[in-house]
Amino acid sequence: MAKLLGAICTSHIPAIGHAIACGKENDPYWLPFFEGYPPVREWLEEMDPAAVVMIYNDHGLNFFLDKMPTFAIGAASQYHNDDEGWGLPTLPPFPGDPKLSWHLIESLVADEFDVTTCQEMLVDHAFTVPISLLWPNRSARRFGTVPVAINTVQHPLPTPARCYALGKAIGRAIESFPEDIGVVVVATGGMSHQLDGERAGFINKSFDLHCLEKIVDDPRALTAMSIHELVRAAGTQGVELIMWLAARGALDGKVTRLHSHYHIPVSNTAAGLLLLSANGRRQSAVLEPGRAIRAR
């Protein structure tokens, strides 16, 4: 059976993709951000997942206001990105994992999550930037991807509690996949930011730090919030934290925080990073003293 190895939550700001493309990781502006990532890259090298379920929000590249699914899952053999206007490079296609996609779709629909199934899907910066960040030499790694898109563009948005429940169903689906593979869940978005309107530039550090704590040991403190309370606390785009709740739901039960990082600002956004493993699973073997990965 497949094993869910852990979950990574990370921001997906387009400027990060630009910094990677231009080799600016060590510039004074960027270094305090990029230095959060090596422990997670090292963990991924060690785990070497065969498949990655990417929970992210499309910003208008694949879905637009005319048709906006609340939850959508890709079931293609590969995914392309495209020019979104951010000046990001077009990347080689990302391999899919259609067998795992269809298993997730079957399992989620049986679990009463009526997802939109996409046999063609363009993936935007929220999918591509975190993959470039987490796998700097992606071409050397052969992992399939399953995109799971959650609507954060057009209200009504799904509630934090609903996203957490979706994540739980995704976790159950992964662990019932009848192939002996390791799977990692990556959630992208957040932390607090607002790109438009009167509060453009809004960042809420105390709320972000509260999220980084509560999501580990008390996710119900966050799933009890309404979507409008989340917008108020995190900003109109900070609402992307619902992806983090889905990833936390996938792990269910008690988890271990292996690493976290927080840096303000990157572009208009508070950049956050969290690596969680499920307790009692085989990845706890990485928690040896002296390793770069910190257990807290």
Known catalytic residues are 125, 193
Where does this chain touch ligand DHB (CB under 6 A) — which range of 6-14, 103-111, 225-233, 273-281?
Answer: 6-14
Where does this chain touch ligand DHB (CB under 6 A) — which range of 1-9, 200-208, 209-217, 265-273?
Answer: 265-273
By CB under 6 A, is residue 269 in contact with ligand DHB?
A: yes
By CB under 6 A, is residue 19 in contact with ligand DHB?
A: no
Q: What six digits make up the tokens of 211?
A: 């999220």
**Stretch 177-216: interaction string toward ligand DHB, x if CB under 6 A:** ----------------x-x---------------------
Of 37, 249, 44, 287, the residue nearest 158 (C-alpha)? 249
CA dihedral for 279, 56, 83, 142, sign (positive or negative): positive
Which residue's Cβ lies closest to ligand DHB?
A: 267
* CB of 119 or CB of 267, closer to ligand DHB: 267
CA dihedral for 200, 204, 207, 209, sign (positive or negative): positive
* CB of 12 or CB of 259, closer to ligand DHB: 12
Q: Looking at 3, 59, 103, 263, which residue binds ligand DHB (CB under 6 A)?
A: 59
Q: What six digits make up the tokens of 171?
A: 């976790």
By CB under 6 A, is residue 147 in contact with ligand DHB?
A: no
How far is Cα 274 from Cα 256, in angstroms, rounded to an integer?
A: 11
By CB under 6 A, is residue 128 in contact with ligand DHB?
A: no
| Helix (H/G/I), strand (E/B), else coil: 166 | helix
How far is Cα 166 from Cα 111, in angstroms, rounded to an integer?
A: 9
* CB of 59 or CB of 168, closer to ligand DHB: 59
**How deeply is 296 buried, as exposed, middle or buried, from its count of CB atoms within 10 A (0-12, 13-18, 19+)?**
exposed
Residues 233-252 that bind ligand DHB (CB under 6 A): 237
By CB under 6 A, is residue 263 in contact with ligand DHB?
A: no
* CB of 81 or CB of 256, closer to ligand DHB: 81
Q: Contact, 226 vs 268, CB < 8 A?
A: no
CA dihedral for 206, 12, 108, 227, sign (positive or negative): positive
By CB under 6 A, is residue 267 in contact with ligand DHB?
A: yes
DSSP string, 76-103: -SEEB----SS-PPPPPPEEB-HHHHHH
* CB of 13 or CB of 53, closer to ligand DHB: 13
Number of residues that bind ligand DHB (CB under 6 A): 11
Instruction: Tell me how far, at minimum, the Cβ of 195 lies from ligand DHB, in Å.
Output: 6
* Cβ count within 10 A of residue 254: 10
Given the structure tokens 């293609």, which residue do they identify? 76
By CB under 6 A, is residue 15 in contact with ligand DHB?
A: yes
Where does this chain touch ligand DHB (CB under 6 A) — which range of 44-52, 102-110, 211-219, 264-272?
Answer: 264-272
Binding residues for ligand DHB, rule: CB under 6 A, are 12-15, 59, 193, 195, 237, 267-269
